[in-house]
Structure 1
Amino acid sequence: MSVASYPSLRQSEARERAELLTVRSYEVRLDLREAETAETFGSVTTVRFESAGGRTFVDVKAVAVHAVRLDGQPLDPAAVEHGRLALDVPAGEHELVVDAAMPYRNDGEGMHRHRDPADGRTYLYVMSFMDAAPSVWACFDQPDLKAPYTMHVTAPDGWTVVGNAPATAPSSDDGAWSLGPTQPLSTYFVTLVAGPYHVLRDEHDGIGLGLSSRQALAPHLDKDADELFTLTRQCFDEFHRLFGIRYPFGEYHQAFVPEFNAGAMENPGCVTFRDQLVFDTRVTRGVRISRASTVAHEMAHQWFGNIVTPVWWDDLWLNESFAEYMGNRLTADVTQYDDAWEQVAWARRQWGLTADARPSTHPVAGNGAADAQAALQNFDGISYAKGSSVLKQLCTRLGDDVFFAGVVDHLTTHRFGNATMHDLFASWERAGAGDLADVVDQWLRTAGADVVRLDRAAGVLHRTAPADHPAERTHRFDLAVLRGGEVATSTVTLADAATPLDGAAPPDDAAVVLDPWEQSWGVYVPDAVTLGALRDELPRVTDPLLRAAAWNNVKSGYRQLAVDPDLVVDLAVAALPAHDTDGHTRPWLLGEVVPAASPGAAERLLGAALELTASAEPAGELQLSAFRTAVLLCRDPDRLRGWLAQAPDGVEVDLDVRWRLLVQLATLGAVDVPELDAELAREVSSVAHLGHVTALASLPTEQAKERAWRLFTGADDAANHDVDAAGQGFWRDGQAELVRPYVERYVADLPATADVRAGWLLALAARAFFPRTMADDDALARLRELRDGDALVPAVRRAVADQVSDLEHRLAVRRAFPKPPSRPLPGPGAS
């Protein structure tokens, strides 16, 4: 049975099992000696548990089960059905042994196997998140059945093994690496990283530190090691200061692993990161800030998530919102990246607000996660960005002393156990926070975001809660008034639907930016005077957070159909948002705004991007960001080829820049497959490999589209990152007639992908290959039928529903601001 065929654990089943069982320990033996050639590996699990007596089940997602013994007595291995082994045990202590063959996977879950295209070496890592753990070892797979782990791993000669506890190298006795026993862990925290990894070690405050990456990235990890170790030391010191609780998981290893789905995973003692965070091409400061905040985020989890873990996935925000807030805060407070909140404004704010505006919005807390797969879809901008914003507001309201006293009480009371939101708020109230019911009810239990508008003539701010999510939230934030290059601020409190500004009313010709320091959570819509004034004021803004907030006001207004696309283009020409050096604004600006604007918008923006590329400091952040924008806007193959040979002064044509140019040439049909293959052969790396996949899918030919489609359907096996890269290249502006038949094929083929995929990749493929450039009424009608029908599993339906909502918005913009001549609307391009 494929891993795609197993049922996802329901919350009701988890409750019943938790009432019945106490898990004492796991001992897991893994045989990875044939990892380079075999399709399976040996897994022998010994789990010791106590039962209150009755029927239950253990999760086993094996290719084959060789033997099962319960309390020394054999059970029929054929009793394992649909990934579960039913057990009926009397009250008391028990020992279960399961000997199985488990699958190597290439979807970023379970035991993921990667063969590096750069040198052919094989690398493994375990991602046991959500439903994936039972495809590595037999277990009671739910967050609230924690237990210590001991692991024994037999690996090929020359390999290194790291995991949740310090590893002891093989002795002559058994040839196995030994790890543990660990502190009590939830199943989804258990990891293993094995292969010929390049490993660096250090120490800080009695804690052993480690870094590892593929050998192909070794020189780049060496180059970044000082920064990474320094970030780690700084964060340990600050977390120890804030919490007064020592890090309890032994060594702290940070493993950069290939083809990772998430940014990182907080496994105690061995955090895994996607290895694109080891930089082998030039990156901007924004990307480095993102890496630093990710390091701090995962370290925050070592306390909030790993010491105390949510009982079930409906409280996942207790992990992610807290780690998001603390990660950003520590990055800004104690590392070299004191401008981290600017990066948050560019990278996270609209991600959360967009998720909160879709029909699929959900509360931050108590998000209705009926099963594990449903919960996976709620790892979104609401659980991260919105939840973080609410915690930031709460910390401001309580003050650090009460806020952290409550956190420490929570971590101490439930140490190495599980807890709920109510437990956390009880801790804050014991620490002196007072009644926090308003925070829970209005901010955490109620979905949606208030819309705030300035009525300049009346001198009033209007607050409107979503009609389907009514709330009585109180907002407190600043106003920034921009006039003649000067900035004045004042503070307002919105407790009612209409709040007079009194003495804070702005001048008639000034631009007003609502909540410039992002002190609250809302959709802030700029008025017409502000939009006109920003064309002059935005180029004068020097405060980076104010600049980002002004653009967030514009983006929110655009989402509310209150800002004409032509006006957005005017603003971008006047002040290209290249300060968003990580590129989060580019897909919105180029993929949504430009196609909805008047003819000539792309050319105007290209001119602005080239002007900034020429005028910005050579080799500086703004220059690189502006040039990337120019590449995406350029439709002249000769110019693109000229840049391949010689980019503008200061821009290095490294692998990243080279493949951005090649992908754009492929989109225009100005390069063929042999040339792309030859480019890949020049320097094989992960950057080049994924660029090659995207470029091939971008070619405007039937053969290219059919080849990419086979990756989507699973007809051709491909790793998770390859599927995503092909999807990013498939739907391209100017190729509407070529790809139009694939709208119907998407509707027909998407349901069956659930038969060949599971977990993260299932929804990722649905999003990557969604027909985002086909925003016309006929395509939308078919996609709505797919969304509303019963052919899709819940995780895929959610992904489709979100994409349909975004497509509906693009059409709504076109209707609200019609621009002749009519033309197909492309979707977001690569960033």
Structure 2
Amino acid sequence: MSGSPYLSLQHREAIERRAALDVTSYDVSLDLASSDETFGSRTRIVFDSAGGSTFVDLKARHLVSARLNGSTLDPASLDRGRLPLSTQPGVNELVVDAVMEFRTDGEGLHRSVDPADGRHYVYGMSFMDAAPSIFACFDQPDLKAPYTFHVTAPRDWTVVGNAPGEQVAPGVWELEQSQPLSTYFVTLVAGPWHLISSEHDGIRLGLSARQSLAAELEADAEEILTVTAQCFDEFHRLFDERYAFGDYHQAFVPDFNAGAMENPGCVTLRDPYVFTSKMTRGAHHLRASTVAHELAHQWFGNITTPAWWDDLWLNESFAEYMGNRVLADVTEFDDAWIRTSYQRRQWGLIADAGPSTHPVAGNGATDAVAALQDFDGISYTKGSSVLKQLNARLGDDVFFAGVNDHFASHRFGNATMHDLFSSWERAGAGDLGDVTQGWLRTSGVDTVSFDRSREVLRRTPPAADPVARRHSFSLARIAADGSWRREAVSLDGAETPVEVDAGDTVLLDVDDTSWLVAHLDPTSLAALPDLMPRLEDAALRAAVWDNVRSSLESGSATPAEVIAVATASIPGETSDEPLSFNSHASDPSKLLLTEWLTSKVVPLSADPASARAGLHAAYAQRAASAEPGSTVQLAGFQAAIETASSVADLIAWLGGAVPAGVEADLALRWRLLTRLAALGAVDRAALDEHLAAEPTAVSTIQHARAVASLPDAEAKAWAWDRFLGVVDVPNYELQSAGQGMWQPGQEEITAAYVDRFFADLPGTASHRSGWLLSEAAGWFFPLTALTEDVVARSEALAADEGLETSLRRQLAVLADEVRRRIAVRSRT
């Protein structure tokens, strides 16, 4: 059933090719001006070989010619993305001339048209195995080489890449030779971009976005550049090696699948990070944390790169840890760790407790396609947690002495986990075998609970891999009057005693210093509605929600108990983070707290209408009591919209009767329209009129969500055509259509699409690939159809070895999500 026309590189093949080859340089010429559908790509590769047979990776529409050491190769020998080579010992030169396709799925050389003004834009996304769709290459992370690019583009375009460049003639751009790069880091950002230039500490800084976002980029530039400069200064303080890649450009690009990509010298970020409306502080934090994360990658990943994808944690876990740490230490976002607890922790915990769990390191990535699936909450948040624990154990002096030795030993090269731990041992860390074995090489997460009757903390390891782990964390004991104190605890074995007063509420891991699923005991859970209005400490409130969310997800709390905590705490929230409703996350485990409450806990309640009404009243109360114009007011009002059932209120707000301090901007109006659409209180014609009045990218994306949310058969068929590829739309519109389609309360209308999903899903591999293939499956999965039949059919299809690997992984994860939702509903 797999529709991919290309072979995925196997790890064993990568080892063999690395043993045979050393790449000296790439020289790439691209013609982006001759067609809107294709581009010319000419690649000259100089490499040393031990001699013998190998292959170069190329995903071309048409191979024009190829010459190896002056001899012509047969274009017909190109097979499933591989061009066979018979190399000579010593120096070889390969020249490949090909016609490549612009892509529209956020990978390769992506070309998009801005709906606001019709301008065309191009950017390169070479991760994970997309580089060969831009240029011929030996596509694996441990065959690094410097790159020189020559680009012909339309005369009104600018071109930015991994190395500084200039326009030498109208439409002709020459880029300097880059530092040695892995193929997956190579990028170009070309088009009529709006550019902003700056400088800090001798480094030229740049920002770019589409022309239709020029005013918004100008408004956001100071904040983005300030965070960038502050992070640069702190990384330069911590690391012996200065930033090594020349200019540092941050390009905000459309239809980007990830949050960002750390391409050396030219980071690409999703352009919703350029804010077109007033945003919460949580949204500003998320953007700043992305900026810090990608800058950390310039060391962790870019200077020293994993030899293979089974050590991808050397990139992502470090960038996650260092980005959050530096953000909290030197920027205005000093609450970064608290906000990360709300935004990211459950993503990793749920993944680690589910069927897709895998080790942080040595994750068994047999090929590049399989490796892509492990870019998940385990590789990011669990790995970050392990590094945070390790830093606390070693101290900064030893921790960074080891890191700096690692960079120096493998500068512009590749390394493994063993290499890094050898550097720490040389720095004086001692034996770290318990870290590698207990935390990095084993999968699964321990559950920790408080047994009040016996006054013990109990550790329950995962059944599949019951390795012994030592947990060190802070426990909070909260008295009935709201006073509280921390207590450091160590849990070495199955149990450890803890003495508490009879009425104390007990919270686990209040500072996120370990990695565990916390189960609240019944007495503590029952006390929280009374306590939350009196708890002022932000870290403690975040810990409450981490404990509550884990308790519901793992079976020790009911929806009613969760709603009781929420309705008691929301009116007194002083941070917008617990109120925010911004992410529209595609992964259910990445939902922000308010999204989790409204889209998951409410529908699973015994009386969803009553639960929604209770939340709505709480959010409306907070919006009314907050300081006008504050982001707390904004977040509270946005959440009140999402939970509203009164059509009259929604229409009044859409007409401008919003609370003083709230701006009824474009984003807020579409939020109102989408809620009205889900309630069946607005029709397709009205939505189309709103789009026509302001045809921006924001409007186009939100229009798709609103149309798909309508409770009628025509709207659902409209959305399904996008899933099937009958109507080809950009990524963000596809995501919005999928997320709008499966509305709680519309199960009767969407019932027919449950069968269609399982029938139609395999065929989507014929017109999608890579990242977008599995993402689309997640967006259109029937998550409101909570039946054992859906679980069984998902698992059966996931077991089909003929199905594309990423779809099998996605189905297994979503089957587990449905199973857990059914279990939660059974406890109501």
Shorter-chain-normalised TM-score: which range? over 0.9
TM-score normalised per structure 1: 0.96
Equivalent residues in 2 for 1:576-587, closer than 5 Å: 576=570, 579-583=577-581, 584-587=592-595
1:490 aligned residue (487, 490, 507)? 487
770-779 or 3-12, larger mean C-alpha shift: 3-12
Q: What is the number of residues matched between the two proteins? A: 809
Partner AA of 2:114 in structure 1:
D
2:343 aligned residue (343, 347, 352)? 347
Equivalent residues in 2 for 1:351-366, closer than 5 Å: 351-366=347-362
**RMSD, aligned α-carbons:** 1.3
- In the alignment, structure 1 residue 727 sits paired with structure 2 residue 725: no
C-alpha contact 1:23 1:145 (8 A) present in aligned 2: yes
Q: Residue 298 of structure 2: SS of its match in structure 1?
A: helix
756-765 or 643-652, larger mean C-alpha shift: 643-652
Q: Residue 358 of structure 2: SS of its match in structure 1?
A: coil
Match of 2:17 in 1: 17
Q: Residue 493 of structure 2: SS of its match in structure 1?
A: coil
- In the alignment, structure 1 residue 536 sits paired with structure 2 residue 530: yes
Q: Residue 255 of structure 1: SS of its match in structure 2?
A: strand
Partner AA of 2:484 in structure 1:
V
Match of 1:103 in 2: 101
1:63 aligned residue (30, 41, 61)? 61
Q: 1:520 Cα shift? A: 0.7
Structure 2 distance, partners of 1:649, 1:168, is: 50
Equivalent residues in 2 for 1:208-219, closer than 5 Å: 208-219=204-215
Over 3 Å counting, the alpha-carbon distance change for 1:401 and 1:649 in structure 2 is: same
Q: Deviations over 1:60-102 (max 9, x none)?
A: 1001111111112211112111111011112111111111111
Q: 1:3 Cα shift? A: 9.1
- In the alignment, structure 1 residue 559 sits paired with structure 2 residue 553: yes
Match of 1:821 in 2: none
Partner AA of 1:294 in structure 2:
T
Q: Residue 180 of structure 2: SS of its match in structure 1?
A: coil
Structure 2 distance, partners of 1:782, 1:17, is: 40
- In the alignment, structure 1 residue 704 sits paired with structure 2 residue 704: no
Equivalent residues in 2 for 1:464-613, closer than 5 Å: 464-483=460-479, 484-501=481-498, 505-576=499-570, 579-583=577-581, 584-599=592-607, 600-613=610-623
C-alpha contact 1:448 1:469 (8 A) present in aligned 2: yes
Structure 2 distance, partners of 1:628, 1:801, is: 33
Structure 2 distance, partners of 1:377, 1:10, is: 15
Q: Residue 448 of structure 1: SS of its match in structure 2?
A: coil
Match of 1:126 in 2: 124
Q: Residue 212 of structure 1: SS of its match in structure 2?
A: strand
Partner AA of 2:77 in structure 1:
A
Partner AA of 1:812 in structure 2:
A
Q: Deviations over 1:355-390 (max 9, x none)?
A: 111111011111111111111111110000000000
- In the alignment, structure 1 residue 410 sits paired with structure 2 residue 402: no
Q: Residue 596 of structure 1: SS of its match in structure 2?
A: coil
Match of 2:380 in 1: 384
C-alpha contact 1:698 1:729 (8 A) present in aligned 2: yes
Q: Residue 66 of structure 2: SS of its match in structure 1?
A: strand
1:334 aligned residue (317, 330, 345)? 330
Partner AA of 1:21 in structure 2:
L
Match of 1:26 in 2: 26
Match of 1:781 in 2: 792
C-alpha contact 1:766 1:796 (8 A) present in aligned 2: yes
TM-score normalised per structure 2: 0.96
Q: Residue 557 of structure 2: SS of its match in structure 1?
A: coil
2:433 aligned residue (437, 448, 470)? 437
Structure 2 distance, partners of 1:121, 1:725, is: 22
Match of 1:660 in 2: 671
Structure 2 distance, partners of 1:138, 1:480, is: 57
- In the alignment, structure 1 residue 85 sits paired with structure 2 residue 96: no
Q: 1:137 Cα shift? A: 0.4
Match of 2:587 in 1: none
Q: 1:581 Cα shift? A: 4.3
C-alpha contact 2:580 2:639 (8 A) present in aligned 1: no
Equivalent residues in 2 for 1:221-300, closer than 5 Å: 221-300=217-296
Q: 1:214 Cα shift? A: 0.6
- In the alignment, structure 1 residue 368 sits paired with structure 2 residue 364: yes
Structure 2 distance, partners of 1:629, 1:99, is: 54
Match of 1:803 in 2: 814
Q: Deviations over 1:176-203 (max 9, x none)?
A: 2011211100000000000000111111
Structure 1 distance, partners of 2:673, 2:108, is: 34
C-alpha contact 1:357 1:449 (8 A) present in aligned 2: yes
Partner AA of 1:352 in structure 2:
G
Q: 1:697 Cα shift? A: 1.1
Structure 1 distance, partners of 2:287, 2:614, is: 33
Q: Residue 516 of structure 1: SS of its match in structure 2?
A: coil
Match of 2:774 in 1: 763
1:683 aligned residue (667, 691, 694)? 694
Q: Deviations over 1:255-312 (max 9, x none)?
A: 1111111111000000111111111111111111111111111111101100000001
Q: 1:785 Cα shift? A: 2.5
- In the alignment, structure 1 residue 615 sits paired with structure 2 residue 609: no
Structure 2 distance, partners of 1:555, 1:640, is: 30
Q: 1:682 Cα shift? A: 1.8
Structure 1 distance, partners of 2:5, 2:462, is: 38
104-113 or 476-485, larger mean C-alpha shift: 476-485
Structure 2 distance, partners of 1:242, 1:782, is: 51
Q: Residue 49 of structure 1: SS of its match in structure 2?
A: strand
Q: 1:48 Cα shift? A: 0.7
Q: Residue 105 of structure 1: SS of its match in structure 2?
A: coil
Structure 2 distance, partners of 1:64, 1:662, is: 46
C-alpha contact 1:147 1:186 (8 A) present in aligned 2: yes
Q: Residue 55 of structure 2: SS of its match in structure 1?
A: strand
703-712 or 342-351, larger mean C-alpha shift: 703-712
Match of 1:625 in 2: 635
C-alpha contact 2:511 2:543 (8 A) present in aligned 1: yes
Once the two structures are aligned, what percentage of the paired residues are identical? Answer: 56
Partner AA of 1:218 in structure 2:
A
Structure 2 portions without partners, runs of 5+? 582-591
Q: Deviations over 1:229-271 (max 9, x none)?
A: 1111111111111012111111111111111111110000001
Structure 1 distance, partners of 2:667, 2:155, is: 34
Over 3 Å counting, the alpha-carbon distance change for 1:273 and 1:376 in structure 2 is: same
Q: 1:396 Cα shift? A: 0.5
- In the alignment, structure 1 residue 812 sits paired with structure 2 residue 823: yes
Q: Residue 81 of structure 1: SS of its match in structure 2?
A: coil
Structure 1 distance, partners of 2:178, 2:619, is: 53
Structure 2 distance, partners of 1:51, 1:511, is: 66
Structure 2 distance, partners of 1:800, 1:419, is: 33
Q: Residue 803 of structure 2: SS of its match in structure 1?
A: coil
Over 3 Å counting, the alpha-carbon distance change for 1:74 and 1:427 in structure 2 is: same
Q: 1:783 Cα shift? A: 2.6
C-alpha contact 1:284 1:581 (8 A) present in aligned 2: no
Q: Deviations over 1:321-372 (max 9, x none)?
A: 0000000001000111111111111001111101111111011111111111
567-576 or 412-421, larger mean C-alpha shift: 567-576
Q: Deviations over 1:137-175 (max 9, x none)?
A: 000000000000000000101111000000121237xx5
C-alpha contact 1:3 1:61 (8 A) present in aligned 2: no
